[in-house]
Amino acid sequence: MEHVVSLTDRLASIGGRRSSAGRGHIRVDGVAITFGSGRKAHHAVMETSLDIKPGEFVCILGPSGCGKSTLLSSIAGYVRPSSGEVIVDNVPVRGPGPERGMVFQQYSLFPWKTIRENIVFGPKVAGRPKAELEAIGATFLEMVGLAKFAQSYPAELSGGMQQRVGIARALANSPSVLLMDEPFGALDAQTRLMMQESLLEIWSAFGITVVFVTHDVDEAIFLADRIVIMSASPGSVIADLKVTLPRPRSQDMATTDAFMELKRACHERIRAESLKAFAQQSQ
Ligand SMILES: Nc1ncnc2c1ncn2[C@@H]1O[C@H](COP(=O)(O)OP(=O)(O)O)[C@@H](O)[C@H]1O
Ligand SMILES: [Mg+2]
C-alpha cells in the first residue's frame, strides 16, 4: 500500500491528477443500437439505461455476441446510439474524448514507438510541456512496474506487460472514466489474477470510474462494486447485482460463502442467456 500512497503523491505533484474525484458520472439513457437498416437491420443493443456513479467499478457480464462491446463503445463514443444517449458528467457523448480512456482486449499499442512514447502519446498530442511529459512518463512507467522497459518496443514485451502499458497509456490522459473491454481475456490465468489485483490498486489510487466488460463471472465478482448482466442478443440489462464483498479484495475471498452465493446468482442468470445465444448462433 505504501507504493500506492507515494504514487498518489507523485500524481498530485504533476498537476492534480487525482482531481477525478467527483467526476466520472455515466448515464446511459435509453440507449438502443442497431447496425444497418431495413431488412438488414441488426439490433445489437435493446433499450438500455444505466446510472454509474463517480468512482464506481461496474462489470458488464454477458454471453458472447450480446452487445457488451457495442454498449461500451457507445460510452467511449466510437459507436453512436440509434436512439437514446450517453451522458458523462452532464455532457452528451458525441465522440471519443480524453476523459474516457479505453483499453481493448487486443493490445493496441503503436509498435513503432517505445513504451515510454506509447504512454505519453496522448498528453504529447495535447501539447503538454516537455517537463510534464517526462514526469508523466516516469510516473506511469513506475506505476505499471515497467520502468526498466521505457526504451523497449511493444514486441519485446509479454502480453501482460503490453496490457499494463495499455492501461498506463489510457490513464496518462487523466481520464475520469476507464472503459475496459475484456482487457485480460488473452492472458494466462496466473497473469490475469495479478493484473486484476494491480487494476484494483490503480483504481483505488485514482478514484476513477471503471466500466469493465467480461464474460468471466469470477473476474466480475472479484473486481466489481456492481455487476450488470446482459441478456443474449439483442442485449439488454437483465440483472444489476451489488457486490458487497469488503475491500481491499483478495483472491482467497473466492472460497467464501458470500462469493459463492453471488457466483451462483450470476451463473443462474447467465446460463439461460448463454443457451439462448448458443441456439441463435447455431441457426
Ligand atoms: N460494426 C458493426 N456492424 C454490424 N454488426 C455489428 C457491428 N459491431 C457489432 N456487431 C454485431 O452486434 C452484435 C453484438 O456484438 P458485440 O457488441 O461485439 O458483442 P459482445 O461484445 O457481447 O461479444 C453481434 O451480433 C455483432 O456481430
Ligand atoms: Mg466483445
The tens digit of pLDDT for each residue in 222-276 reads 999 999 999 988 899 999 999 999 999 999 999 999 999 999 999 999 888 888 7
Q: For the chain, give the mean pLDDT.
A: 91
Alpha-carbon distance values, 164 to 38, 73, 230, 282 (Å): 42, 21, 27, 36
Domain C-terminal end among 150, 173, 196 = 173
| Residue 35 alpha carbon, nearest atom of ligand 1 | 4
Domain C-terminal end among 127, 146, 173 = 173
What CATH number is given to the structural domain containing 251? Answer: 3.40.50.300
The residues lining ligand 1, judged by C-beta closer than 6 Å to any ligand atom, are 35, 42, 44, 62, 64-70, 233
**Centre of ligand 1 from the C-alpha of residue 65, in Å:** 6
One domain for residues 65 and 118: no
One domain for residues 222 and 179: yes
**Centre of ligand 1 from the C-alpha of residue 43, in Å:** 9
Given a contact cutoff of 8 angstroms between Cβ atoms, the answer to whether 203 and 56 are in contact is no
How many domains does the chain divide into?
2
Which residue minimizes the CA distance to atom 26 of ligand 1?
65
- In this predicted model, what pLDDT tens digit does every residue of 117-139 receive, in sequence order? 999 999 999 999 999 999 999 99
One domain for residues 83 and 187: yes
**Centre of ligand 2 from the C-alpha of residue 269, in Å:** 19
**Residue owning grid cell 513503432:** 112
- Angstrom distance (rounded) from CA 76 to CA 177: 9
One domain for residues 38 and 111: no
Of 103, 102, 99, 77, the closest CA to residue 89 belongs to 99
Domain residues for 262? 2-99+174-281
One domain for residues 207 and 275: yes
End-to-end alpha carbon distance in the chain: 51
One domain for residues 210 and 249: yes
One domain for residues 12 and 125: no
One domain for residues 139 and 274: no
Percentage of the chain lying above the pLDDT 90 cut: 80
- Angstrom distance (rounded) from CA 227 to CA 242: 6
One domain for residues 195 and 78: yes
Could you please report the per-residue DSSP string of 92-124?
A: E--S--TTEEEE-SS----TTS-HHHHHTHHHH
Which residue minimizes the CA distance to atom 9 of ligand 1?
70
Of 4, 3, 8, 38, the closest CA to residue 20 belongs to 8
One domain for residues 192 and 52: yes
- Ligand 1 pocket mutation, candidates 40, 46, 70, criterion most atoms within 8 A of CB: 70
One domain for residues 52 and 180: yes
pLDDT at residue 29 is higher than 80: yes
